């Protein structure tokens, strides 16, 4: 059963490999909402989500480990985008 605060989080913000505290869930939700509108570098993502650069990097790495986001290689600054894995899980579950 989910708490009311968890219900407002992005479905991919919950990561099974870490302890999910509300602040982390909210932060990942902000990042994922920005990325749903297109890939971006950490500075741009942080600006749109009103998060510090280091916080964005930390959560992008967590999301990358879970396969939710990917780092586009060859770009400077590094550009991050959604992999579509979360959507595939939703589609396959129905």
Print pLDDT tens along the chain (94 aa).
444 455 689 999 999 888 899 999 999 999 999 999 999 999 999 999 999 999 999 999 999 999 999 998 776 788 999 998 765 444 444 4
Number of domains the chain is built from = 1
Between CA 63 and CA 82 the distance in angstroms is 9
SS3 state at 70:
strand
* Other Cβ atoms closer than 10 A to 55: 17
Query: Do residues 56 and 74 lie in contact, with contact meaning Cβ atoms separated by under 8 Å?
Result: no
Task: Look up the CATH number of the domain holding residue 13.
Answer: 1.10.10.10
| pTM, to two decimals | 0.81
Q: What is the pLDDT of residues 41-53, one digit of tens each?
A: 999 999 999 999 9
Between CA 26 and CA 3 the distance in angstroms is 13
Range of the domain at 28: 4-92
């Amino acid at each position: 059963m989910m708490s009311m605060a968890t219900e407002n989080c992005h479905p991919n913000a919950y990561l099974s490999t870490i302890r999910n505290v509300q602040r982390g869930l909210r932060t990942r939700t902000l990042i994922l909402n920005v990325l749903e509108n297109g890939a971006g570098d950490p500075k741009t993502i942080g600006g749109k989500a009103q998060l510090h650069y280091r916080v964005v990097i930390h959560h992008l790495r967590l999301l990358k480990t879970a396969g939710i986001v990917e780092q586009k290689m060859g770009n400077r600054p590094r550009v991050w985008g959604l992999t579509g894995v979360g959507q595939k899980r939703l589609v396959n579950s129905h």
